[in-house]
Chain A
């Protein structure tokens, strides 16, 4: 009956490995940047009038994007909350969080196909004899930012509107409050505390937005710091400027991140499951609400619909069968799965050790600190991280040959905060209920994981793997820095096809990428997480 006890890895091992990986992938490039900074004229770069304009433009477009998004999201959220029951309401609200699954560049292709030179909108403007609308430049950047962030804001605001107790609506009905009084006394007070937080979050997202500015801006008149770093590196081979701008960006992002945190917002906010709890409002001005919801739905759905419809053209098969497309597709799958697996492994490692610290050692703050290590990446935009990696590795290797490895590393880090957020609750819950029992039975190590943690965690792990892989599959920023004709991924290929105005090829590539992301998102959840609960 003598058995050797199963190997018991120390509790700190998974966390330590993950922290080590994060520190190596973030710390070393940052050190390289700072190290390089000693050789550059930081002040010269800042005082250069063009760079000042770039910094100003980054702030300016982010402020405008935030303003528009929040101002438009407010009536949308109110209209949705006032119309608690209509067909397709849940679907529409779910669509609001779809920007997580749909790669930015895919949506942009859709937006261009509707609002671009040859799109529907300009066609109408032309028939009406109005001047055409240019999607390139500030207009387009704002439009795309509004497209992505209005739904995000509307979701958060709708949540707080739906948290208003039912009694208040009944009271309002009994008191006969008209629509404007309801807004003034009930809805506005519920929304107001959220506004600053959501505004800062959107500001942060728009300030560091890369893909949208790359594709719709990028000319000297519409360049943000993020894109200017890329251009300095890839256009001019101007390491000094790239490093100087990266440091500026790092400083500004840290400030923004501190602000975001002080208002309790997170970039991964879009993930928080929205608990729909619509209240009956006993009001009757359905027309206006319907109009607002209709316009919003149209604005969100048309670009995607147009994309899908136009993707099927005589060139479709040729484009898909093209060797470049196929190799990009293969690379994208590799990047998505590897980056996803890496992110999830790091995430599990961090959470398991954090749990041990919290539950067994009763050190809440150290547990939090471990998780913070994974969230540190939120301060560092991918292009800055990429620049650091670039400078770090260039003396030793052909960076372009390492493209895939670098893209995987950067994307796994970018996805880590999302993974941590998804896993935090379940990992803790998996233990809280039975930890004493588990301790008294002496179950630990792999058996504990296999018998007790895994069954409880496979769904959230499947979900986080799906999210991480989908994000990685759609990312342009890392591959833009390291990609070349030798190694491309679908987003880069799509960007190049857009850049050379090959519309039909771009449309088909976009739909291919969209399908890949949807497949990753649903298949990974199913394969890892098992059948959905009935």
Chain B
């Protein structure tokens, strides 16, 4: 009731407020924003993309060689966090490009009105789905899968259903769907397999979840590879890295009979960017051979274009999903909040 009374006053209040604050902020920030107008392209991405062994360093070197500019990767602590971060910063964001959102967040991201058309020729894109977006450029893709340690588990569950009904001493590590795209992916995977019964399935999964991490790298590197749990939510491609680089078959992905949920990772240009030409140049560069061939063994995903024999042989030994699951991104946009609350509700019991 009290709150309603304030509604009438608010316009006046806001205006005088605005003047005051704008004044203060101008004094505080000064011209620092205007000074940063050299040719630097700022890319918000998730942390593992920019790590020493990730694609970041290779991409930076290759792009800077051709653009006469500085490519600056800003690593954020989680993938879905990239979106909330540019939302939080709004039009004042320093980012020119966001790189690392996925198909599930496409409609949500587009709805913010913060993104610009890419103007990129995406005819080279080769994905399990047809690519139609004129805003997003896909840079790689993969299937969500549970990766297990063969030294801890000999017969992994062969379906999502088996996992759900497995004894509670089978411990898994998953990611938070609010902050991590794999976390959101699992939420949608369960949703697309079980529909309205998803909440019950999550209830059954609860005792098996050792912990819910904020991002993928904590779950995979810090916990799973350190033996904290025998199974982790990751990608069907993850074993490819261990086979190619570590030369070990120890870590394998469990193939689930219901099929696997697809993730296409995407990049986009921000409407507020003052470097749009350079930004579009970078988006086009994403589909170039240099960028694409770097991905399999650095980001450990399938490239979004056909790179022929440059795809490491180990990638042919990976599990192939029986069917590819993917929910419509508009449907996700309309239901995401509700599904998240449903998950939170079950997970908090």
The answer to whether A and B come from one shared complex is yes
Cross-chain contact A396 with B348 (CB below 8 angstroms): no
Which residues of chain A from 479 to 510 have any CB-CB distance to chain B below 8 Å in the complex?
Answer: 484-486, 496, 499-502
Cross-chain contact A399 with B348 (CB below 8 angstroms): no
Residues in A with CB closer than 8 Å to B165 are: none
Q: A235 vs B183: C-alpha distance in the bound complex, in angstroms?
A: 13
Cross-chain contact A50 with B21 (CB below 8 angstroms): no
* A219 beta carbon closer than 8 Å to chain B: yes
Q: A182 vs B179: C-alpha distance in the bound complex, in angstroms?
A: 57
Stretch of B24-32, B310-318, B326-334 contacting A (4+ beta carbons < 8 Å):
B24-32
Cross-chain contact B74 with A220 (CB below 8 angstroms): no
Cross-chain contact B92 with A398 (CB below 8 angstroms): yes
Bin chain B's interface residue count: 35 or more
Cross-chain contact B77 with A38 (CB below 8 angstroms): no
B94 to chain A, nearest CB (A): 7
Residues in B with CB closer than 8 Å to A235 are: 80-81, 84, 176, 178-179
* B159 beta carbon closer than 8 Å to chain A: no
In-complex Cβ contact of A35 among B6, B89, B179, B223 (8 A): B6
* A202 beta carbon closer than 8 Å to chain B: no
Which residues of chain A from 215 to 234 have any CB-CB distance to chain B below 8 Å in the complex?
Answer: 219-221, 223, 231, 233-234
Q: A470 vs B74: C-alpha distance in the bound complex, in angstroms?
A: 31
Q: A402 vs B26: C-alpha distance in the bound complex, in angstroms?
A: 11
In-complex Cβ contact of B88 among A35, A57, A117, A233 (8 A): A233
Cross-chain contact A42 with B3 (CB below 8 angstroms): yes
Stretch of A26-34, A279-287, A333-341, A352-360 contacting B (4+ beta carbons < 8 Å):
A26-34
Residues in B with CB closer than 8 Å to A394 are: 88, 90
Q: A282 vs B114: C-alpha distance in the bound complex, in angstroms?
A: 76
Cross-chain contact B218 with A395 (CB below 8 angstroms): no
Count contacts between A and B, CB distance < 8 Å: 119
Cross-chain contact B218 with A500 (CB below 8 angstroms): yes
Cross-chain contact B211 with A136 (CB below 8 angstroms): yes
* A312 beta carbon closer than 8 Å to chain B: no
Q: A220-B212, A485-B74, A499-B214 are in contact. Are A37 and B6 (CB under 8 A)?
A: yes
Q: A390 vs B217: C-alpha distance in the bound complex, in angstroms?
A: 29
Residues in A with CB closer than 8 Å to B93 are: 398
Cross-chain contact A237 with B13 (CB below 8 angstroms): no
Q: A288 vs B307: C-alpha distance in the bound complex, in angstroms?
A: 75
Q: A35-B6, A50-B344 are in contact. Are A400 and B25 (CB under 8 A)?
A: no
Cross-chain contact A396 with B345 (CB below 8 angstroms): no
In-complex Cβ contact of B348 among A28, A53, A486 (8 A): A53
* B323 beta carbon closer than 8 Å to chain A: no
A334 to chain B, nearest CB (A): 15
Which residues of chain A from 47 to 70 have any CB-CB distance to chain B below 8 Å in the complex?
Answer: 48-50, 53-54, 57
B231-264 vs A: 1/0 string, CB under 8 Å?
0000000000000000000000000000000000
User: Closest residue to A401 on the B side, CB-wise?
Assistant: B29
* A397 beta carbon closer than 8 Å to chain B: yes
Which residues of chain B from 210 to 229 have any CB-CB distance to chain A below 8 Å in the complex?
Answer: 211-212, 214, 217-218, 222-223, 226, 228
A345 to chain B, nearest CB (A): 19
* A246 beta carbon closer than 8 Å to chain B: no
Residues in A with CB closer than 8 Å to B347 are: 219-221
Which residues of chain B from 270 to 310 have any CB-CB distance to chain A below 8 Å in the complex?
Answer: none
Q: A34-B6, A54-B348 are in contact. Are A392 and B21 (CB under 8 A)?
A: yes
Q: A397 vs B22: C-alpha distance in the bound complex, in angstroms?
A: 8
Cross-chain contact B84 with A393 (CB below 8 angstroms): no
A272 to chain B, nearest CB (A): 37
Q: A235-B84, A237-B84 are in contact. Are A53 and B212 (CB under 8 A)?
A: no
Cross-chain contact A236 with B29 (CB below 8 angstroms): no
Q: A405 vs B25: C-alpha distance in the bound complex, in angstroms?
A: 11
Cross-chain contact A35 with B10 (CB below 8 angstroms): yes
In-complex Cβ contact of B28 among A219, A237, A405 (8 A): A405
User: Closest residue to B179 on the A side, CB-wise?
Assistant: A235
Cross-chain contact A34 with B3 (CB below 8 angstroms): yes
Residues in B with CB closer than 8 Å to A38 are: 3-4, 6-7, 10
A187-200 vs B: 1/0 string, CB under 8 Å?
00000000000000
Residues in B with CB closer than 8 Å to A234 are: 81, 84, 88
Which of B's residues lie within 8 Å of A, judged by CB?
Answer: 3-4, 6-7, 10, 13-14, 17-18, 21-22, 25, 28-29, 32-33, 74-77, 80-81, 83-85, 87-90, 92-94, 176, 178-179, 211-212, 214, 217-218, 222-223, 226, 228, 340-341, 343-345, 347-349
What 7 A-B pairs come out closest when comparing CB atoms?
A501-B222, A398-B92, A220-B347, A237-B87, A237-B84, A50-B344, A38-B7
Instruction: Sample 27 A-B pairs with CB under 8 A, ordered by A number.
Output: A37-B3, A38-B4, A38-B6, A48-B341, A50-B341, A53-B348, A219-B212, A220-B348, A221-B347, A236-B84, A236-B340, A237-B83, A396-B18, A396-B22, A398-B92, A398-B94, A399-B92, A402-B25, A402-B29, A405-B28, A484-B85, A485-B74, A486-B74, A496-B77, A499-B77, A499-B214, A501-B223
Which of A's residues lie within 8 Å of B, judged by CB?
Answer: 28, 31-32, 34-35, 37-38, 42, 48-50, 53-54, 57, 117, 136, 219-221, 223, 231, 233-237, 392-402, 405, 484-486, 496, 499-502
